[in-house]
Amino acid sequence: MLEGQSCLISRAIPSSCEQESKWVYMTYRLLEITSNKRTPCVELEEQDEGGAVKRAKLPKNAYVEGTGSSDCQGGGGQYPESGSLINQIGRDNSISCLLRCSRSDYDALACVNKSFRSLVRSGELYKLRRWLGISEHWVYFSCNVLEWEAYDPYSGRWITLPKMPHNECFMSSDKESLAVGSELLVFGKEILSHVVLRYSILTNSWSPGIEMKTPRCLFGSASLGEKAFVAGGIDAYGNILRSAELYNSETETWVTLPSMNVPRKKCSGVLMDGKFYVIGGMASNTELLNCGEEFDPEKGTWRVIPNMSSGLNGASGAPPLVAVVNNELYAAHYAEKEVRKYDKKANSWITLGRLPERPDSVDGWGLAFRACGERLIVIGGPRTLGGGIIEVNSWIPEEGPPEWSMIASKHSASFVYNCAVMGC
């Protein structure tokens, strides 16, 4: 069951066995039934815990027959003649079922007919899923230059993304990545300029992304839904930055935010308790920073937090490995192979236990530590010559020391260059 799905279903339909059975039946019928009738644009309703009704309306152009590209993965580009959704259960019920299907099934659903494909490829389903609080978190990472893979922990499936466009300077430059909305953004450099490449899950393709107001690399970032925060980093001339920006993937725009108090590069970013935190980093090529900064979006102000990253930076200046699950901040101390938890009141770190044994890092580089929904994950592998294995280890934080489970592995290079988690 998808994250947030059980509570949404319990609010959307009566909790009787008969109604639950009908809901499941309708979902499975999505791939079997089509109809020639067209019905108007749908308005969905959802009650929150206090009984208040929320409404969302999909635009008509999300269902126009024949919109979207003509190819269909696994379908040879051919569709049934029908251009509508499931008339037998109504458009709103059809869409409600689609919203609660796994997004790993969306490619197959897009091949049912042109209206299904238009609905999936328009991105409207993902907007409604965000509105309803339904999300699946997939992990995207790169272990080879210009090559990206994704892992879907819900179906246990590996997905190979198309190769990034070839660019000699971009290949050899430092790169940062973040996932926002239904996009994966990768930031790199040419000689004296920056490059942004964007992968869309709607088109399964790469295209040029939108440049920041102040292009940068080696920055800290964090995202939630369709919005992402970035701060710090270096510009094309190597200057260390204090500036920060906010990206909206739906409008494809960057907005300049107030600047931090301290310039920093090679820092990490997280979102916690509705605020954006930038942790650690370097103020120069030799000066490690132990402080963090907290940005309050409502007030538009930054606050310095002394010693927030004390002990987390390595001698090489690798960014701190930090992640937030359920508004609790965790860190991977790669030198000691420990997992630590941040005590917000005491502004200190508590050692919980050990990291997985097999994944290695090179002074903090090459190892990914991320939040993936309700779990923490570690991605990496043992260092070997002539190939290796990449492993995905998972732990759902609870009382007691970490108990890691290896949920996936495959033959691959084991050094992780970039990693991002997309929840949609």
User: 147 and 110 in one domain?
Assistant: no
User: 141 and 89 in one domain?
Assistant: no
356, amino acid identity: P
| 261 close to 305: Cβ distance less than 8 angstroms | no
User: 327 and 197 in one domain?
Assistant: yes
User: 204 and 116 in one domain?
Assistant: no
Tell me, what's the pLDDT at 313?
Answer: 66
- State pLDDT tens for residues 84-141: 676 677 778 888 888 888 988 888 888 887 888 888 888 888 999 998 889 999 999 9
199/270 Cα distance (integer angstroms): 22
Q: Which two tokens stand for residue 154?
A: 């819900």
User: 170 and 151 in one domain?
Assistant: yes
Tell me, what's the pLDDT at 419?
Answer: 97
User: 415 and 314 in one domain?
Assistant: yes
Number of domains within the chain: 2
Last residue of a domain, one of 75, 109, 132: 132
Instruction: Look up residue 30 and give its DSSP letter.
Output: T
| Helix (H), strand (E) at residue 180 | strand 176-180
Nearest Cα neighbor of 278 from 217, 322, 341, 335 is 322
User: 42 and 160 in one domain?
Assistant: no
| Helix (H), strand (E) at residue 279 | strand 275-279
392 forms beta bridges with: 379, 408
**Percent helix, percent strand, percent coil in the chain, to nearest 5:** 15, 35, 50
Full strand arrangement of the beta sheet holding 301-305? 268-272, 275-279, 292-296, 301-305
43/58 Cα distance (integer angstroms): 7
| 63 close to 35: Cβ distance less than 8 angstroms | no
User: What is the b/e burial string over 228-254, where b = at least 16 CB atoms within 10 angstroms of the residue's CB?
Assistant: bbbbbbbbeeeebbbbbbbbbbeeeeb
> Cβ–Cβ contacts within 10 Å for residue 398, how many?
7
54/131 Cα distance (integer angstroms): 9
| 182 close to 200: Cβ distance less than 8 angstroms | yes
Phi, psi of 61 (to 5 degrees): -70, -5
Last residue of a domain, one of 91, 114, 132: 132
Q: Which two tokens stand for residue 391?
A: 């492993």
CATH code, domain with 290: 2.120.10.80
- State pLDDT tens for residues 385-406: 666 899 999 999 988 899 999 9
User: 144 and 93 in one domain?
Assistant: no
Pairing of strands 53-57, 43-47: antiparallel
Tally the C-alpha atoms within 13 A of residue 418's C-alpha that lie toward its C-beta.
Answer: 27
User: 352 and 325 in one domain?
Assistant: yes
User: 114 and 147 in one domain?
Assistant: no
∠ CA(142), CA(146), CA(152), 5° rounding? 35
Tell me, what's the pLDDT at 90?
Answer: 74
Tell me, what's the pLDDT at 201?
Answer: 95
329, amino acid identity: L
User: 282 and 381 in one domain?
Assistant: yes
Give the domain range for residue 89. Answer: 5-132
Tell me, what's the pLDDT at 15?
Answer: 34
- Per-residue pLDDT of the chain in tens (424 residues, 90 and over written 9): 444 333 333 233 333 334 433 444 444 444 443 333 333 344 545 555 455 555 554 444 333 222 333 345 433 444 444 446 766 777 788 888 888 889 888 888 888 878 888 888 888 889 999 988 899 999 999 998 889 999 999 999 999 999 998 877 777 778 999 999 999 999 998 877 889 999 999 999 999 999 999 999 999 999 999 999 999 999 988 999 999 999 999 999 999 999 999 999 999 999 999 999 999 999 998 899 999 999 999 999 999 999 999 878 665 678 999 999 999 999 999 888 999 999 999 999 999 999 998 888 888 889 999 999 999 999 998 877 666 899 999 999 988 899 999 999 999 888 999 999 999 9
User: 315 and 296 in one domain?
Assistant: yes
